[in-house]
Amino acid sequence: MKINYDKEVDAAFIQLSTKKPDGAIEIAEGVILHTTIKNEIVGIEMLDASRKFPIKNLYKLELQPAE
């Protein structure tokens, strides 16, 4: 998992997989799931990220891969 934050556009991207995204689904205002052609989630994009989350806390997230 990789987390990137672009301060210029205030967007965060959490990369969950190295698979190439083929589409995107906005699940809430400014929260977008990037998916493969098989509907596997490969990334999560958050627009206006600093307004929704303390950015420094994003880098402290500990996620376990699905089994």
Q: Cα torsion at 67, 64, 43, 9 (round to 10°)?
A: 170
With 70 as the cut, is the pLDDT of residue 65 above it? no
| Mean per-residue pLDDT of the chain | 85
Q: How confident is the model at residue 1, as a pLDDT?
A: 81
For the chain, the first-to-last Cα distance in angstroms comes to 15
Q: Please provide residue 51's backbone torsions phi and psi, each rounded to the nearest 5 degrees.
A: -80, -25
Domain ranges for the chain, please list them.
2-51
Q: How confident is the model at residue 24, as a pLDDT?
A: 97
Q: Please provide residue 3's backbone torsions phi and psi, each rounded to the nearest 5 degrees.
A: -120, 125
53 — pLDDT class (breaks 50, 70, 90): confident
pTM of the model as a whole: 0.77
Kindly report, residue by residue over 20-48, the tens digit of the pLDDT. Answer: 999 999 999 999 999 999 999 999 999 99
